[in-house]
Amino acid sequence: MSEMTVGRPAEPEFVAFLAIDWADQKHAWSLQPAGKGQRERGEVEHSPEAVEAWIGGLTQRFAGGAIAVAVEQSRGALVFMLSKYENLHIYPVPPTMSAGIRKAFYASGDKDDPLDAGVLLEILLKHRERLRRLSPDTEATRRVQNLVEERRHLVDEKTAHNNRMVANLKIYFPQILQVFEKVDTTLVCELLQTWPTLAALQQARPARLRKFMHQHHCRGEEMIQKRLEQIRTAIPAIQDAPVMEAKATAVQVSARLILVLLEGIKDLERRIEEAAAAHPDFFIFDSLPGAGLVMAPRLLGVFGSQRERYANACEVQVCTGIAPIRVSSGQSRRVLFRRGCPKFLRQTFHEWAGHTIAHSEWARAFYLQQRARGKGRHAAIRSLAFKWIRIVFRCWKDRVKYDENLYKASLELRKAPAVLKACGVAAR
């Protein structure tokens, strides 16, 4: 996530340079001791015992000196395994960089693991200034970072199962999508577990259905009566028994999976709330409009605790993918969407900036201003996120809460007439 250091801390004096081309079962490696031109090659199995013995041998051979390690991933099993060794300094190499250099060096397209390890070693030795050394954050920060990422993975998985369930329901039981606004809820999933078809649901006594809804916190009598009437008057969408049997079974499986995921998400949210509340910087992100219990910990995870990580707000804008790419060639000038970035970070700022439109006067005014200039919704939100990053960066650097009135006063001083007018503040 944000464990990658953008700043340039002083490097130790490396005694050796190591490149590893990771794989599922075995990793190919290439090693060059400092001050020597001869390279060594080999393989190591992907197991804690094999890696421990291999790194232990290198540590003993080089008397515990610092070893620079290039690997083509910034996270994953191998990186986490290597991170526990203090004498290893890990430099993640972007796959696009190694692929480009490999293509330049080997135009024939040859590719194998030892060759890739050699390319990574070449990058580490000659282009290390273009790499960013991994610098793990504090334990409290990493706890928040990992929890919010895992929550997002579960939410995405739930969305996938929900989409699959909706697609099946549309074929044989579309009425359920009209009776209930959302189907990825405990109420609907448990209902489908008990009554997976329209025929089964219509055979249930109204009193039992009413009790079922009461037990799932649906107690509005008008809403319950409306739902019961919709169920009573519905007619089957299809009569094909084999199709109904297969689809109903698939829906029940999806419903069970969604219930498990809902429980897992709830548990992660409890842990995230606990971890965020214990973090010394959480008050900064908790003060941001529209952040709430979900977005505030995610924003905390993006910035982390290492103030030296980012020299300025521009580095955050670029690292998170919010800043666009400008391409110039001759008389041509283009501004493009930045795709090469950690998607979770970009998504975090994009989602949060969208929430602030309803919670911040100046954010809503700026968004409407961008739409009036012809920008699409997502482009306008990215422009808003671009501004928000500068504000949050300053709050983070100075360790202060966000103050909406203070920022509106700064807009007045800078005479931003369009935004001020929309906020109801007159520019002097």
- How much is the pLDDT for 4? 40
Give per-residue pLDDT as tens, 84-95: 999 999 999 988
Pick the CATH number of 143-274 from 1.10.287.4070, 3.90.226.10, 3.20.20.140, 1.10.10.10: 1.10.287.4070
**pLDDT over 70 (residue 410):** yes
Please write the tens of the pLDDT for every residue from 135-149: 888 999 999 999 999
- Tell me which H or E stretch contains 21: strand 16-21
In sequence order, the 6+-apart residues with CB closer than 8 A to the CB of 97 are 123, 130
Query: For residue 79, which of 22, 160, 1, 16 has the smallest C-alpha distance?
Result: 22
Whether 75 has a pLDDT exceeding 80, the answer reads no
Surface-to-core class of residue 166, CB atoms within 10 Å of its CB (0-12 exposed, 13-18 middle, 19+ buried): middle
Is pLDDT of 227 > 50? yes
The CATH code for residues 16-136 is 3.30.420.110
Q: At what angle do helices 343-356 and 139-172 cross, to 10 degrees?
A: 80
Edge to edge, the sheet with strand 88-92 lists 40-45, 26-33, 16-21, 67-71, 88-92
| Tokens 């395994």 -> residue | 81
> How high does pLDDT run on average in the chain?
89
Domain ranges of the chain: 16-136, 143-274, 283-423
Contact in structure between 282 and 303 (CB atoms under 8 Å): no
In this prediction, residue 416 carries a pLDDT of 59
**pTM of the shown model:** 0.82
> Over 50: is that where the pLDDT of 6 sits?
no
For residue 5, the model assigns a pLDDT of 41
Contact yes or no for 88/67 (Cβ under 8 A) = yes
Residue 420 has pLDDT above 70, yes or no: no
3-class SS of residue 82: helix
**Other Cβ atoms closer than 10 A to 8:** 11
Common-topology check for domains 16-136 and 143-274: no
Question: Residue 79: CB partners within 8 Å, gap ≥ 6?
Answer: 71, 73, 90, 92, 134
Question: In angstroms, rounded to a whole number, what is the distance separating the alpha carbons of residues 145 and 348?
Answer: 12
